[in-house]
């Protein structure tokens, strides 16, 4: 089955840039979606199709996808961005596949 690999955790200072990666075999050929899950809350879609922001998501969030890695970039990080972030793709073998999640800590 298809596997998505994310770093378990990362930390960034307020105002800096966070880059969260999601690795997968030829992931650049797939549509990647990203979710934010704040503590105790349900996930929220923050990017879809690699780089499209749903209504209400600030333009500080952006994404890219090429080769074996998709990346979620958050510029000017704020305390409210502290959360778990998950990437997700649809795969014919595994259907809807999630990465293991990355815990973003804002220092």
Name which of residues 36 to 65 contact other proteins (CB under 8 A): 37, 42-45, 48-49, 54
What secondary structure does DSSP assign to 47-63, as a single string? Answer: EBTTTBPPTT--TTEEE
Q: Which is nearer to other proteins, 24 or 99 (CB)?
A: 99
How far is Cα 42 from Cα 59, in angstroms, rounded to an integer?
A: 21
**Position among 21, 28, 31, 75 found at the interface with other proteins (CB under 8 A):** 31
Q: Supply 23's token pair.
A: 């690795």
Q: What is d(CA 51, CA 73) in angstroms, rounded to the nearest whole number? A: 10
x/- contact string, 72-91, with other proteins (CB under 8 A)? ------------x-x-x-x-
Q: Which is nearer to other proteins, 80 or 90 (CB)?
A: 90
């Amino acid at each position: 089955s298809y596997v998505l690999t994310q770093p378990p955790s990362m930390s960034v200072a307020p105002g800096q840039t966070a880059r969260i990666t999601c690795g997968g075999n030829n992931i650049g050929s797939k549509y990647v979606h990203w979710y934010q899950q704040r503590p105790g809350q349900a996930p929220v879609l923050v990017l879809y199709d690699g780089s499209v922001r749903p209504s209400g998501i600030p333009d500080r969030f952006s994404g890219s996808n090429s080769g074996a890695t998709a990346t979620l970039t958050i510029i000017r990080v704020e305390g409210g961005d502290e959360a778990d972030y998950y990437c997700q793709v649809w795969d014919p073998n595994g259907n809807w596949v999630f990465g293991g999640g990355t815990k973003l800590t804002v220092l």
